[in-house]
Amino acid sequence: MIENTEATLERIFRSVLKVQPDEDMVSVSVESHGWDSVAHLNLILAVEQEFQFMMTPEEASAANSFRTMLDLVNSRR
Amino acid sequence: MATSERVTVAQAGNWSERLRRVAAKLASAPSHANALEAYHAGLEAPATVEGFVSLNCGILRNVTVEPWLPELYGALLRCGIHTRFLLGDYAVYERYASAPSDLGTPAPDCFLVCLDAGALAGDARHDPPADMADALLGRITGIVGGLVDRTSANIVVTNLAPDPQPVHSLHGDQDTAGWPHLRRTVNAGLTAVLSAEPRVSILDMDRIVGEFGASRAYDTRMYMIAASPFAVDFLPHLGRAFAAAVAAAVLPPKKCVVVDCDNTLWGGILGEDGPERVAIGTDYPGSAYREFQLFLVGLFRRGFLLAMNSKNNEADVLSFMEDCPEMVLRPADFAARRINWEDKAANLTELARELNIGLDSMIFIDDSPFECELVKSALPEVQVEQFPANPLDIPRYVSAIQGVERLSVGKDDLARTESIRANASRERLRRGAPDLDSFLRSLSIRLTIARQDRTAVRRISELCQRTNQFNLTTKRYGVGDIERLMDEGVVYTMSMKDRFADYGTIGVAIVDTGSGDRWEIDSFMLSCRAFGRRVEVELLQALLEDAGTAGVRSVGACHVATAKNGMTRNFFPDYGFAETEASDGEARFEIQIGAAAGRRPDGICEVRRVESPT
């Protein structure tokens, strides 16, 4: 089974953040769900590893919601 | 939210299954995301989970190690250890070394002291003061010493890793006052001081970074952004190294390694292929199995018991292991054995009883997936490590076996003392070798010269095929030819050991014994591994002594020139052979037994003669 980008990213977010199984990912951003600086670092590392690219510092700090991270991944693929 | 509550209740009932599941998922699909999933499961789990050893681990650090935690947790979980971490604040090692309880509760039963070299040594790395190495060494040993004195915990220390982006590298290679050299001085000093303390283990970052590859181990971007030094792909490797050190300290030690024979101790099946065709020795694929035997020698030396569990005829295995010159391990090296046609699980149970150890202290090594599965299901407490089918995979396999680092303190100390002594004597050896004779003597060369050794037929044929330089006639015999030559004449093999290594069979001489009163040396060769030690003369001497004993009056020989064997043109004349004939590229020689006057063995090598049963 091949996951699409959004599903893969959702899986990564669920492994890092405290998102309830029935909760919509669109609501997830840096203000919620235990998204602190450690979670941010782990998210960046896990996303980079999964999608095989490196973010610039500016991209990394701008990726502060599920939506912006998804846009970033799509723009780099 | 009724659904998720129900899930939580169900999970709480079976944490050991859930932890096993996330560990298995991480093992089959290693990624930072899966490590995080395992780590978060561990954070939710109660402090003690059935089937896992609980560990509280305190971490002292001067960089961002938070991304390591999921990977460390995952690696420990795979060793059966469920860990809670307590993180110290950045760089204030001395605070926790003087008051470990400042780290929080429960008190750690294990500390990881992470030392980032850049943060620890700072800008001074670029212009090091004269006392820098001493100062750093004093600081680190003071921190570790504080933890040793004030806690009863095990302490794992990562020493100073090489710089991710070395500058002035070539200059640094030469400069004894520069940082690269000082870093190594500090690391060597740490080993010297801390190895005396049984509760402390060092993780050598030169080794761990080197194994993975220095160019891939670092993420200098994240070091600048977030003080996180390592690349995410390196973290599992670091985690495994840490887990191995922790497991060695906290899990009950393994005591015995039980090995299968066929396709494990050697390549091939003794009962089917016969002793002359199974692979063991210094050439591939035998060399791979030999490496495995040497690995077992290392375990034996460090106090592990060895045992055999094999489906074979016991007498065949024992005589082969006793007689084969290229065998490293002999039957006497094994504390117990079950070589029979019984069920291997039953054999293991009996071995445990005979050696008076628990099944849980045994590691079972077998190439057969069937036997491995049988033992796993019948005796789950035995650690089963399936041996690779491809001999090329043996080195990686050996380095990945878990549990073999575990040692009791007494034996560890013993081995350490021995190796210190060996190093000291090697150093003396290097300093005091003024001339070739003394050097050769100091090597303690031991030669074994055998006649008609049918276990060596393949190796003899390989030497015939491959030896170019020291080869008097360069006849390329196959295995069948060698067997025939053994039937018709005498085939000599010479193997060599010195204090550093076993070189296996390195010399071959083939004699046509003719009608009996005159022998002809058909072939004579020496592997390039054995050049420069004057051992070839010993083989010739042995051959001529035998000729004398057999009542032979003269021995003939021949040199057939090739593009590569010029070094052997004067081998026979130097020994005292008379040249009887010389034509384009071919020279004939003859020696009367008892009348020789020329180069002779000089007593440097110890020679043992072996007559193989015919």
Domains of chain B: 52-250 (3.40.50.1110), 256-410 (3.40.50.1000), 439-611 (3.40.630.30)
Nearest to B347 by CA among B355, B358, B338, B356: B338
Which residue in the block uniquely carries the two structure tokens 């933890």? B147
pLDDT of residue B3: 42
Whether ipTM exceeds 0.85:
yes
Best of B5, B36, B69 to substitute, by most chain A Cβ atoms within 10 angstroms, is B36
CA distances (Å), origin B88, targets B94, B106, B312, B551, B592: 11, 14, 57, 84, 84
Contact B156, B246 (CB under 8 A): yes
Contact B547, B584 (CB under 8 A): no
Residues of B whose CB is below 8 A from A21:
3-4, 7
Contact B491, B451 (CB under 8 A): yes
Rounded Cα distance, B403 and B388, in Å: 18
End-to-end C-alpha distance for chain B, whole angstroms: 84
Q: Does A40 have pLDDT greater than 90?
A: yes
Closest-approach residue (CA) in chain B for A8 = B33
B34: closest CA of chain A, how far (Å): 7
Q: Does A71 have pLDDT greater than 70?
A: yes
CA distances (Å), origin B71, targets A46, B38, B86, B237, B402: 12, 9, 15, 9, 17
Note which residues in 60-89 of chain B have CB less than 8 A from chain A: 64, 66-67, 70
> Are the Cβ atoms of B67 and A49 closer than 8 angstroms?
no
Rounded Cα distance, B368 and B98, in Å: 53
Q: Number of H helices and number of E strands within chain B?
A: 25, 18
The helix/strand/coil state of A76 is: coil
Q: Does A65 have pLDDT greater than 60?
A: yes
A49 in B contact zone (CB under 8 Å): yes
E-only strand ranges, B513-592: 518-526, 554-560, 578-583, 586-592
One CATH from 1.10.3720.10, 3.30.1780.10, 3.40.50.20, 1.10.1200.10 for A5-75: 1.10.1200.10
Domain boundaries, chain A: 5-75
- pTM, entire model: 0.68
CA distances (Å), origin B532, targets B96, B437, B608: 59, 11, 20
Q: Which of B4, B34, B228 sits opposite A15 (nearest CB)?
A: B34
pLDDT of residue B432: 43
Rounded Cα distance, B430 and B54, in Å: 49
Confidence band of A1 (pLDDT split at 50, 70, 90) = low
- Better-scored residue on pLDDT, A29 or B278: B278
Low-confidence ranges of chain B (pLDDT < 50): 1-10, 407-434, 614
pLDDT of residue B41: 95
Size of interface A-B (CB pairs under 8 A): 52
A44: closest CA of chain B, how far (Å): 10
- Lay out the sheet containing B81-90: strands in order across: B81-90, B53-61, B110-113, B154-158, B200-203
Task: Compute the Cα dihedral for A41, A45, A46, A50 and give only its sign.
Answer: positive
> Are the Cβ atoms of B32 and A41 closer than 8 angstroms?
no
B315 in A contact zone (CB under 8 Å): no
> Are the Cβ atoms of B232 and A54 closer than 8 angstroms?
no
Rg of chain A over Cα atoms, rounded to whole angstroms, equals 11
| Residues 6 or more apart in contact with residue B343 via CB below 8 angstroms | B374
Q: Which of B66, B226, B232 sits opposite A48 (nearest CB)?
A: B232
Q: Which of B37, B225, B232 sits opposite A15 (nearest CB)?
A: B37
